[in-house]
Chain A
Amino acid sequence: MTAPEQDRVRLLLVEDEEFNRDLVRAVLSRAQDAAIAGAELTEAPTLGDARAALAAAEFDIVLLDVQLPDGTGLTLAAELAERPEDQRPAIVILTAGVLPEQRAAALAAGCSTFLEKPYSPSKLIEVLRSQLPDRVPR
């Protein structure tokens, strides 16, 4: 059932609320899509942890909360946008900040994939599918 090691999707979840991390984990565990269910999930509760994780490993998709204890996730998004294209993970913003100006700020930071809280698990799966890297068989 699990994909070969090198084909596994590598996800980084940057989220400070524990139950939201549990939710993403639960959603992944129940996903019908093998690529997503088999994804390798790294969790980072703060920006600092996220930076450390990004320095240590490569990721295909970063699920990024905006309001984090040590800053805004958009800073991290802007940092990632400066990477060369082949080393740049796809970014999915997961945020409860849904006001037009907050959305505009996300767009300005180069994040077009925006999932507002509360999101439904199926929506999360759908968004993840749309961002799967090419090397992953669908």
Chain B
Amino acid sequence: MTLLVDSLFPVVFVTALVAYIRYRDRLQRDVMIMFSALAGNVVLDLIRLGGGAPTRPVQVASSAVFLFVPYLTLRLISKVRPVPPWLIATAVAGCAASAAVTVLNWANPPPTPFRFGTLIVFFSLETAAAVLLLREARRRAGAPTIRLRWAAVGTAIMAVSVLISAAGLIMDPNHTPNILVEARQLARGIAALSYLAAFVPPSWLRRRWSASAGFEAGRHLLDAPATERPEATWQRYAAAVCDTAGADAAVVVIFADDGTATEVAHARLAAGPDEPPAAAQVEELLAASQPVDTARPDGRFPQLAAQYAGRGGARFVTAVQLTAPPDHRGALVLVNQHRSLFSDDDIRLLASLGTQAAILAERGTVLAEQARLTTELAESVDALQRASKAKSDFLASMSHELRTPLNSIIGFSELMRAEDAQGDHRVVPDEWIEHVHSSGRRLLALINDILDLTKVEAGRLELRLEPVELPALVHEAVSALGPVADRKNLDLDYDVPAIAVTADRIRLRQCLDNLLSNAIKFTPDGGRILVTARAEPTTVVVTVADSGAGIALADQERVFEEFQQVGDPTVRTSGTGLGLALTRRLVQAHGGKIDLRSELGQGAEFSMHLPRVSDEGAVPAPAKVRASSAATHTEGGILVIEDEAGAVRLLRTYLEEAGYTVTVAPDGESGLELAARIQPEAIILDVLLPGVGGWEVLRRLKSDPASAAIPVIIATVVDEQETGRSLGAADYFVKPIERERLIRCVSQYVTPAPELAAAEKVLVIDDDSSTLRVVDTALKQQGYHVVTAASGAEGLRIARNQDFGLIICDLLMPDMDGFAVIAALEADPAREHPPIVVFTGKDLTATDRERLAGRTAGVIRKGDDGPTALRQWLDWAYTRPIPVGGPEPAVSAHSQGAST
């Protein structure tokens, strides 16, 4: 029985010895040494079993070694938790003294008081060790707790067995009563079993104890919300590992597909370096397969261990392999200040829990991804719905905006058809024609804007970027809109320094016009509009500021949307409703942006930010090729190559009215032939021609040295400006062609009819088309060359560009009236204007007369005999010197009384 009990200690000793030899684990060495002292008794038992009695020296040696057990126990404990140094010192002193007493009295048992003292020392130290083990057990979790408790129990009962010996000594110093011997034996048996359970538990016990730890850690993990991010799941796992395995710190590292390792979580550890650990280093740490002591003086341990130890402020680093489904591996790294007894089981279990953490993390990833996709999907559905709604809204608005002017065109023209016929003519009210015309213009503007918008949206807008000098451009735009601003008595001005932007000149002008028109529309009478520009390092900011009603912050984004008008609804203004939307897109197409600064009642500032032309990069805009006027030509003039009769008629009218000689070729073939023969000063070319097509005609013209210098202006329905330009076209018009633009363009290359004497040319300015027609017919019959202008502004421009013998001007015109035209002509210092005859239906007031006094050559009243009077007046005027600035001729006085 005794042997059986005593042989339990060697079992632990052998197990520790095997572990030490196998892993060279110092902790196992300490366990082995401690149990070697306890195992000494078994030698005595074996001798007794053999029938002999152990000799005295053997007994003494065995006792002396046994007396060191408390010290060895405390020493082992000091490896796994702090033990007060004084306790160690006391243990060394106590145990050494006890052993010394025993050895010194080796012949006979020592005196009873000494033996008693030795037992008390042993008891006290063992009790202290048991208390420390219990404390450590409380600090830990899982299986280590249970095993530490068993170790504490074993140690305590060991102490009790010594107490029993002490009791026996008191009762009879020479012979211990049998009952006490039995009790002591029983205590030692229980102690041995406790130690066995603590240090060499059977596997079923281990599993059971570890299961509770696993349950605890698993519960922590499963507490995680399903949608927890993977990093959070790993973090939770690391924390659970620390709690359960009693580790001071923990790190989770996962190997990625590309062979790198990533630290996915760390608990109770300082943040890692920016660089993740090298995969090879992690593998090296895993290969150590046991706690690494980073305090080893020989430094023979994985370098990564030192790094983790440093971050954890601790000494021992243990790495266990993790399997992360589906096919990833990783490492769980534990960092401890002390070695931990009994934690191998838990660590193995925690590593397998790592697999579950990985599954949870994977689930988190999948769910997070799913949530992200769901949100994304919902967002794109929203976006699509918004886009679809925007598209329907746009179409609805467009339909509305198209139908509105069409209503006027169809309605009035149908009314015209029902008017009284006079042969193939009908007499219809002027107003109706005006409505049809202005509605047509409005429709065209809308269609142009829509096409431009579509082009920009489809990314098909081709910008001809060049350096554009701002002052000139702004001047043009402001001058063009001046009359409109004047009508509202707006102070429209600009202050632009000499800077250039990289832009498509025409598009930039369009943007500026849109912003200016917008400002003019929304600024009440008497307001102020100012265009400014400033250079920034890479951009130029062009600002149009007005003193209008301003735009509320909430509406500021909406003004850039199609067909949106904000502000006071009762002050609705005309326009396509696309101007600002288009402007924004055009500016964006330039790589710029547009912004708006406004406050209600404080006016508005629209600023275009455009790419700046750096000073060194500035190149002058390519000069327009001007046909040599010295070219030897028999007829010169303009050659129009166009097959469609309507277009020919229109072009001929526009050009001839502007004073040009026009020759027409109905197809490409004859066009080329005529071009060679008459050497025109410019060619207007259609693209869609029968036979030889327009592009081919252009190519041949440009490849023939005789005609290469003739500027060719394309006028077509085909919008392929790039093709035209690349083939050498000087300019490009997409039909319908605007008269003003065409004439402006042609006048760059050709001076109108040089052979016509200025004196024979008459400019007629009137907004009323029937008056123009009547006067034109009347004067042409007389042999005058007549140029007509349908508005004050147009008339003024023509008057400035060409020389006339006489200007006939109406007074009441919509944008710029006759008074303004006359004033502008007077004010132009560059040229002396020809005599001006006022031809008007207005009853002149005293003020009017005063305003005209000395400025006109005569005033003729419109009326039934108006054209006749005019003709007579001209005949009279041309037979004698025209009294410029002189007294009004009699005709004026004569027609005073005539009423209309």
Interface residues of A (CB under 8 A from B): 16-17, 19-20, 22-23, 26-27, 30, 46, 48, 67, 69-71, 96-99, 102, 116-122, 124
Contacts and interface: CB of A to CB of B under 8 A. Distances in A.
A120 B411 contact: yes
A70 B410 CA distance: 27
Given A23-B435, A118-B406, A69 B570 contact: yes
A69 B569 contact: yes
A99 B411 contact: no
A92 B835 CA distance: 56
Given A19-B439, A23-B412, A97-B396, A117 B407 contact: yes
A118 B407 CA distance: 4
Contacts of A70: 569-570
A99 B399 contact: yes
- Most chain B CB within 10 A, of A23, A30, A120, is at A23
B418 A30 contact: yes
A102 B432 CA distance: 30
A116 B407 CA distance: 9
B399 A19 contact: no
A122 B414 CA distance: 9
Interface string B378-404: 000000000000000000100111111
Interface in B413-455: 414-415, 418-419, 429, 431-432, 435, 438-439
Contact of A26 (B396, B401, B412, B569): B412
Contacts of A99: 396, 399
B319 interface: no
B409 interface: yes
A48 B414 contact: no
B414 A121 contact: yes
Contact of A23 (B396, B411, B438): B411
Contact of B431 (A22, A97, A119, A121): A22
A121 B431 CA distance: 16
Contacts of B401: 96
Given A118-B406, A122-B414, 20 more contacts: A16-B572, A17-B404, A19-B408, A23-B407, A23-B411, A67-B400, A69-B572, A96-B404, A96-B407, A97-B396, A98-B399, A98-B403, A99-B396, A117-B403, A118-B407, A119-B407, A121-B411, A121-B414, A121-B415, A124-B411
A102 B393 CA distance: 12
Contacts of B400: 67, 96-97
B435 A120 contact: no
The 8 A-B pairs of least Cβ separation, nearest first, read: A96-B403, A69-B572, A118-B407, A117-B407, A118-B406, A118-B410, A96-B400, A23-B411
Nearest to A48: B570
A17 B412 CA distance: 14
Contacts of B411: 23, 26-27, 118-121, 124
A71 B435 contact: no
14 contacts: A23-B411, A23-B415, A26-B412, A48-B570, A67-B400, A96-B400, A96-B407, A97-B396, A97-B399, A118-B408, A119-B407, A119-B411, A121-B414, A122-B414
A22 B404 contact: no
Contacts of A98: 399, 403
A46 B435 contact: no
A45 B78 CA distance: 100
Given A46-B570, A118-B409, A118-B410, A102 B415 contact: no
Contact of B435 (A19, A67, A122, A124): A19
A96 B569 contact: no
A22 B411 CA distance: 10
B412 to A, nearest CB: 6
B438 A19 contact: yes
Interface string B587-627: 00000000000000000000000000000000000000000
Nearest to B431: A22
Contacts of A122: 414
B415 A30 contact: yes
B391 to A, nearest CB: 13
A26 B430 CA distance: 12
Contacts of B569: 69-71
Contacts of A69: 569-572
A96 B399 contact: yes
A41 to B, nearest CB: 15
Nearest to A96: B403
- Most chain A CB within 10 A, of B399, B400, B411, B439, is at B411
A56 B82 CA distance: 103
Nearest to A23: B411
A26 B570 CA distance: 25
A70 B399 CA distance: 21
A20 B404 contact: yes
Nearest to B429: A26
Contacts of A16: 572
A118 B410 CA distance: 7
- Most chain B CB within 10 A, of A19, A70, A116, A118, is at A19
Contacts of B418: 30, 121
A20 B572 CA distance: 15
A20 B407 contact: yes
A111 B368 CA distance: 53
B432 A26 contact: yes
Contacts of B415: 23, 26-27, 30, 121
B563 to A, nearest CB: 11
A89 B224 CA distance: 71
Contacts of A67: 400
B180 to A, nearest CB: 107
B406 A117 contact: yes
- Most chain B CB within 10 A, of A16, A30, A69, A122, is at A69
Contact of B403 (A26, A118, A120): A118
A23 B431 CA distance: 10
- Most chain B CB within 10 A, of A26, A99, A118, is at A118
Contacts of B412: 23, 26
A69 to B, nearest CB: 4
Contacts of B406: 117-118
Contacts of A96: 399-404, 407
A70 B565 CA distance: 12
A92 to B, nearest CB: 14
A104 to B, nearest CB: 13
B631 to A, nearest CB: 49
A30 B419 CA distance: 9
Nearest to B401: A96
Contacts of A102: 396
A53 to B, nearest CB: 16
A64 to B, nearest CB: 15
Nearest to B410: A118
- Most chain B CB within 10 A, of A48, A116, A117, is at A117
B236 to A, nearest CB: 54
A116 B411 CA distance: 12
Interface string B552-571: 00000000000000000111
A28 to B, nearest CB: 11
A27 B435 CA distance: 14
Nearest to B396: A99
A76 B176 CA distance: 121
Contacts of A124: 411
A117 B570 contact: no
Contacts of A20: 404, 407-408
A124 B414 CA distance: 12
A79 B898 CA distance: 54
B322 to A, nearest CB: 61
- Most chain A CB within 10 A, of B403, B409, B418, B419, is at B403
